[in-house]
Structure 1
């Protein structure tokens, strides 16, 4: 039953329903702002993923080096989650941004803004992207304290959220050390296991077996340390969630770079994938709900858009 006073399921309930189907792989394209989220939603995705790296890059103009605060991440997640509350959003929550009390606050805040799922990791607070070298970890005791705090906060909140336990221990502690941490996190109440930086398909398959029946998440970062598994490959291996955090930030870079080069070198921006024509402002606005907003205004008795726009 929905926990928001409505008969409609919450985003967290929808995500749990997806996880309940053992044959389903939840595919989550990575978005980092309202525009990329709107594009993904317009294509009919079932679930979104808010990338921490993309949030840091787009909101702060800086690399993913543990710079974004809980407020930065929560505010971005809130905006994305509420564009379409019927589509679940899984959001990066990094380390929880502090000790147990702060982890609890982070989880509570994510629940209040409508995030369906989040992942917490075992790096130190001054963390870095999981596909960079030199990561530092907290002790297993501190890590499990974070997970326990998250579970406690979820229990106390007026809502639900899927808790995903992530470990970056593979790089420094090896497979057995990483597995130990994730099993401890699940024992504390985490719903999903996330082994960052998996090296091979064989290792991924072993991980799924070793964590069964806990559902597992695959992080697809082309050019990172993990294989570039296709959706079919990830599903065959046995993953239940696949996130693609670099999808938006990777493809926008060459496109914008090319357009700027065209402007500076040729004095004119050429078309991009539209039969030799440029995209009009109206066409771009329609991706972001222009038509729906106008219809809402008219139905509410407004006159600003009664004759269109």
Structure 2
């Protein structure tokens, strides 16, 4: 279990550091995770919406299974065990027994932290309309089930309690649900769909000393703020879940249109450190990002001969 525990231990160190705010780009597959690691993020967020659109080609309407989500989160977490991966766990995918099973799966995959929400099992993205919620007691039972499974596994995985109650039940009920979730074993509080900076400030104060989690969705209902502003408001974790999805959406749209309209995709060039021009985003660039040199070096280190003639 040592490898699986590294991310959770690191995340707890971050949460305990009064000067630290955890900024997580949303990633949904191997290449988006690799790029986020490459530019130096010290934590990643596996988005459930991104998992739905990338693995299923479907919207975030509760269509992913626990295996879809846990397997994807585990792949991302396995790329660098020193970098914590936080992951969406939707509603836990069922009643308390299923929530416990989900928790066990996420622990075994090396996930550092995950959030569970109070929507009905057929849930939807928190920034869509018409969300339906379970009763508070049902929600708290989910959190207790996750905490119990964590204790049984001897794990330190961080449980993040998310509520979508603000839209339909109001601020006071949302805060009540989060406080009850913390009493049930959650480590971090996540109020989804906040509509103003004042509401952001207010919930951090209401939940103190519990660390609070902020979701920055482009085109969503919550005003977008930067890391400095989030720190000043008191948040400890901020995710930008659309980071990878938007990049893929915009980039693929551009290249696909170019190929469709012109019959080709022209090479893009970049100036290298030595002053020479090279193709940007070449097949070798992608493979290097994903560990080409490291794979070759490992093979030779252990006595393999697969790559002696180069790659």
* Distance in structure 2 (CA, Å) of the matches to 1:18 and 1:165: 18
* Distance in structure 1 (CA, Å) of the matches to 2:284 and 2:177: 50
* Distance in structure 2 (CA, Å) of the matches to 1:124 and 1:9: 30
Match of 2:249 in 1: 253
Listed as ranges, the matches of 1:217-256 within 5 Å are: 217-256=213-252
Match of 2:164 in 1: 168
Match of 1:302 in 2: 304
The runs of 5 or more residues in structure 2 that have no matched partner are 272-277
Deviation at 1:9, TM superposition (A): 6.6
Matched, 1:134 2:130: yes
Q: What do residues 193-249 of structure 1 show as CA deviations (whole Å, max 9, x unaligned)? A: 000001100010011100000000000001100011111111111100001111110
Residue 26 of structure 2 aligns to a residue whose secondary structure is: strand
Residue 274 of structure 1 aligns to a residue whose secondary structure is: strand
Structure 1 contact 193–214 (Cα < 8 Å) conserved:
yes
Structure 2 contact 5–155 (Cα < 8 Å) conserved:
no
Structure 1 contact 168–197 (Cα < 8 Å) conserved:
yes
* Distance in structure 2 (CA, Å) of the matches to 1:9 and 1:129: 29
Residue 213 of structure 2 aligns to a residue whose secondary structure is: strand
Match of 1:49 in 2: 45
Residue 305 of structure 1 aligns to a residue whose secondary structure is: coil
Which residue, out of 9, 14, 32, partners 2:10?
A: 14
Structure 2 contact 5–156 (Cα < 8 Å) conserved:
no
* Distance in structure 1 (CA, Å) of the matches to 2:268 and 2:188: 39
Deviation at 1:252, TM superposition (A): 1.4
Which residue, out of 106, 109, 117, partners 2:113?
A: 117
Q: What do residues 283-305 of structure 1 show as CA deviations (whole Å, max 9, x unaligned)? A: 11000000100100000101111
Match of 1:286 in 2: 288
Matched, 1:196 2:192: yes
Deviation at 1:159, TM superposition (A): 2.4
The runs of 5 or more residues in structure 1 that have no matched partner are none
* Distance in structure 2 (CA, Å) of the matches to 1:307 and 1:45: 34
Structure 2 contact 74–111 (Cα < 8 Å) conserved:
yes
Deviation at 1:273, TM superposition (A): 6.9
Match of 1:208 in 2: 204
Stretch of structure 1 that moved more, 47-56 or 17-26? 17-26
For residues 9 and 78 of structure 1, do their structure 2 counterparts lie closer, same or farther at Cα, with a shift above 3 Å needed?
closer
Match of 1:99 in 2: 95
Matched, 1:72 2:68: yes
Structure 1 contact 259–270 (Cα < 8 Å) conserved:
no
Match of 2:275 in 1: none
For residues 272 and 140 of structure 1, do their structure 2 counterparts lie closer, same or farther at Cα, with a shift above 3 Å needed?
farther
* Distance in structure 2 (CA, Å) of the matches to 1:91 and 1:144: 19
Structure 1 contact 270–278 (Cα < 8 Å) conserved:
no
